[in-house]
Amino acid sequence: MDWNDLRYFLAIARSGSLAKAARELSVEHTTVSRRLGALEEDLGTRLFARGPAGLVLTTAGKNMLPIVEDIAEQISSIERCVTGLDGRVAGTVRLTIPESGNSYFMHRLRELRSRHPELVIELISDNRPLDIRRGEADIAVRFAAVPDQDLIVRKPGKAGWSLYASPSYLARKGPLASVNDVSGHELIGYADLLAMVEGEQWLRSLKPPPVVVMRGNSIVGVARAAVEGIGIAPLPCFAAAQESGLLRITPEVIGERDIMLVVHPDLVRVARVRATMDFLIELFHHEAALWSGRNAPDPG
């Protein structure tokens, strides 16, 4: 049995789709199908059946999945041990960030590359909490609690939220009376996986309930809606600062969370991972005012 075939099985099981597994593994759709076929032929059984929502595990596949996950974790552990012997700041670091951080980190990671030319950053923009333990990422920037007590977590600062609108919206609707009085205004909220973010929780705390004219499942999408003048958007201060078409309309911070850097304990002393961690901690400290949003001038 070829371990690479097991990797393909695991990717399909997690994504439920040959196409999604192919994107995750950076191979062609036909390659995934061929490797799955080879594995099923070796085992003499079907591992997946096609259902209305995509590929679903058969009984044999369900029995096999936890074993393959354990194998994947052991192989990741071997890789971490071996790569930890190299003291050079060189090679690939997989950094996962929330999708709202794309513009911010893309701009600033140039400095990291200039310091360490042999370093390759694989930036994974995803709101899902990728599994550090299973090697889906080396370092994660997160704003939610980390339940795995064995992972190393650093908290280099706070991420604050405030209210933003476009000049065209303010010309149409006028200024905000106060952060707790949005009467006469139109708001943009959050849905799905982002229903628990600070901006949405602030919206739901308002009495009487505000007029919400749009909801989005993406912070970038909500910010773009605000740029287009659709309404007032509660946004993370660092993300809103990347949008030239937005004005902060209140000095108050409506909510905040810890910024968390998460890394596997086996990787924390690997030179390339340590250098990336140090850079990110330095960045969060240097731009603490931007992230916290607490030193903003009164919009008047």
| Beta bridge partner(s), residue 18 | none
Q: How confident is the model at residue 291 (pLDDT cuts 50, 70, 90)?
A: very high
Taking residue 182's Cβ as centre, other Cβ atoms within 10 Å add up to 20
**Least confident window among 3-12, 202-211, 226-235:** 3-12
For residue 117, is the peptide bond before it cis, meaning its omega torsion is within 30 degrees of 0? Answer: no
Please tell me the predicted confidence (pLDDT) of residue 168.
Answer: 96
Map residue 192 onto helix, strand or coil: helix
Please tell me the predicted confidence (pLDDT) of residue 84.
Answer: 54
For residue 208, is the peptide bond before it cis, meaning its omega torsion is within 30 degrees of 0? Answer: yes
What does the pLDDT look like over 168-195, one tens digit per residue? 999 999 999 888 889 999 999 999 888 8
| Beta bridge partner(s), residue 273 | none
What does the pLDDT look like over 206-233, one tens digit per residue? 999 999 999 999 999 999 999 999 999 9
CA angle, 213 then 214 then 219, to 5°: 140
Would you say the pTM of this structure is higher than 0.75?
no
Q: How confident is the model at residue 249 (pLDDT cuts 50, 70, 90)?
A: very high
What does the pLDDT look like over 15-44, one tens digit per residue? 888 988 888 888 888 889 999 998 998 899
Domains and CATH numbers, the chain: 3-83 (1.10.10.10), 91-156+259-286 (3.40.190.10), 159-256 (3.40.190.10)
Q: In terms of pLDDT, which residue wins out, 211 or 75?
A: 211
- Taking 3-state DSSP, the helix, strand and coil percentages for the chain, each rounded to the nearest 5, stand at 45, 25, 35
Map residue 209 onto helix, strand or coil: coil
Map residue 283 onto helix, strand or coil: helix
Please tell me the predicted confidence (pLDDT) of residue 297.
Answer: 53
| Beta bridge partner(s), residue 163 | 234
Are 105 and 226 in contact, with CB atoms under 8 Å apart? Answer: no
What does the pLDDT look like over 254-270, one tens digit per residue? 999 999 999 988 888 88
Burial degree of 281 (CB within 10 A; 0-12, 13-18, 19+): middle
Sign of torsion over alpha carbons 39, 40, 45, 49: positive
Are 79 and 73 in contact, with CB atoms under 8 Å apart? Answer: no
Please tell me the predicted confidence (pLDDT) of residue 270.
Answer: 87
Please tell me the predicted confidence (pLDDT) of residue 72.
Answer: 83
Task: Return all residues near 213 (Cβ < 8 A) that are at least 6 apart.
Answer: 186, 187, 188, 230, 231
